[in-house]
C-alpha cells in the first residue's frame, strides 16, 4: 500500500495507512529464536503466516472473540486496527513443552490436567521474563480486572482453537497471545501462527511449528505449509 514504515519487528513490519486508526501488518520471511540470538529465513513464511493468522482471526471473530484483524490485503499483508499494545505476553499450555518442561522438569508431551496460563513481560532487553499478577501490578502493565480478562479471553481462545485444530488432526500444545487497546477496548492483536504456537500432528506428535527452526529439525517450510493446508482445506498457497 506504500504507507510510511511505523515499526519493524523480528517477523513483521507495520505500515501507516490513509486511515489514522488502521495499520498494515506485513509478514516477513525472517525467523529468529532465543531472543534474536538465532537468525534465519524460512521461505514463504510471511505468506503462510499471513494466511494462517487471517484464518484464525476469522475463526475467532465468528466465535465472538474480538481482534485487531480487519481483512487480508494481499499475500503478505493484513489490515488491522491500530492498538496500544499491552506489554504482557499471555501463554496458554495444554501439553508440557519448551520452557515449561525445563522449568518444572516435566517431559515434553506430558498432558496437563488443566490448561496453564502464564504471563511474560514483553521486553526484548530482559528476554521476556515470566511474571505473575503481583509483578504486573508493580510494573503497572494492567489492572487486576484487565489481567483477569486477558486470562479468561486466552482460555476461551484456547477452547476454540483446540477443537478446531483437533478436527484437523493437530494437537495445540501451547501458544502465545498479545493484546492491545483500541478506544479503551481490549482486542486480541499480533498473530497466531506456527511462529507463536506449538502444533503437533495429533497421531504422530510430529512437530509442525517453529520448533523445527529453533531445534534445527529440518522441513520447516513444509511444516508451516502443512498447517496452512489443514486449516484451509484447499490447494496450496
Ligand atoms: P516457551 O515454551 O518457549 O515458553 O514457548 C511457549 C509458547 O510461546 C510457544 O508456543 C512459542 C511461543 N513463543 C512466542 O510466540 N514467542 C516467544 O518469544 C517465545 C519464547 C515463545
Ligand atoms: N521470537 C523470539 C525471538 O526471536 C523467540 C522464539 O520464538 O523462540 O527471539
Q: Which fold has domain 84-219?
A: D-amino Acid Aminotransferase; Chain A, domain 1 (3.30.470)
pLDDT digits (tens, 9 = 90+) for 147-169: 999 999 999 999 999 999 999 99
Q: What distance lies between CA 14 and its chain's CA centroid?
A: 16
Does residue 180 sit in helix, strand or coil? strand
CATH of domain 5-81: 3.30.200.20
In angstroms, the CA 4 to CA 7 distance is 9
In angstroms, the CA 78 to CA 64 distance is 20
What are the backbone angles phi and psi of residue 83, rounded to the nearest 5°? -120, 155
Helices (H), the chain: 45-62, 98-104, 133-139, 144-166, 211-214, 220-232
pTM: 0.97
Does residue 226 sit in helix, strand or coil? helix
pLDDT digits (tens, 9 = 90+) for 34-69: 999 999 999 999 999 999 999 999 999 999 999 999
Q: Kindly report the protein residue whose alpha carbon is nearest to atom 1 of ligand 2.
A: 33
Q: Kindly report the protein residue whose alpha carbon is nearest to atom 6 of ligand 2.
A: 33
Does residue 216 sit in helix, strand or coil? coil
C-alpha 218 – ligand 1 centre gap (Å): 19
Cβ(44)–Cβ(221) under 8 Å?
yes
Amino acid at each position: 500500500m506504500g504507507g510510511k514504515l511505523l515499526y519493524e519487528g523480528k517477523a513483521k513490519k507495520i505500515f501507516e495507512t490513509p486511515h489514522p486508526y488502521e495499520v498494515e501488518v506485513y509478514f516477513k520471511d525472517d525467523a529468529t529464536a532465543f531472543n534474536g540470538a538465532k537468525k534465519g529465513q524460512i521461505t514463504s513464511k510471511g505468506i503462510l503466516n499471513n494466511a494462517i493468522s487471517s484464518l484464525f482471526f476469522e475463526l475467532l471473530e465468528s466465535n465472538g472473540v474480538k481482534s485487531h484483524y480487519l481483512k487480508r490485503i494481499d499475500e503478505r499483508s493484513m489490515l488491522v486496527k491500530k492498538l496500544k499494545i499491552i506489554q504482557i505476553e499471555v501463554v496458554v499450555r495444554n501439553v508440557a513443552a519448551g520452557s515449561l518442561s525445563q522449568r518444572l522438569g516435566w517431559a515434553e508431551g506430558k498432558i496437563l490436567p488443566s490448561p496453564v496460563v502464564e504471563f511474560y513481560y514483553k521486553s526484548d532487553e530482559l528476554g521476556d521474563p515470566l511474571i505473575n499478577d503481583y509483578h504486573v501490578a508493580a510494573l503497572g502493565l494492567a489492572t487486576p480486572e484487565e489481567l483477569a480478562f486477558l486470562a479468561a479471553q486466552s482460555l476461551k481462545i484456547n477452547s476454540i482453537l483446540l477443537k478446531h485444530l483437533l478436527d484437523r488432526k493437530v494437537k495445540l500444545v501451547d501458544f502465545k497471545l498479545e493484546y492491545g487497546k483500541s478506544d479503551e477496548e481490549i482486542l486480541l492483536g499480533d498473530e497466531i501462527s506456527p511462529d507463536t504456537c506449538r502444533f503437533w500432528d495429533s497421531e504422530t506428535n510430529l512437530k509442525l511449528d517453529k520448533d523445527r527452526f529453533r531445534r534445527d529439525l529440518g522441513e520447516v517450510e513444509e511444516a508451516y505449509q502443512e498447517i496452512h493446508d489443514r486449516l484451509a482445506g484447499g490447494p496450496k498457497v
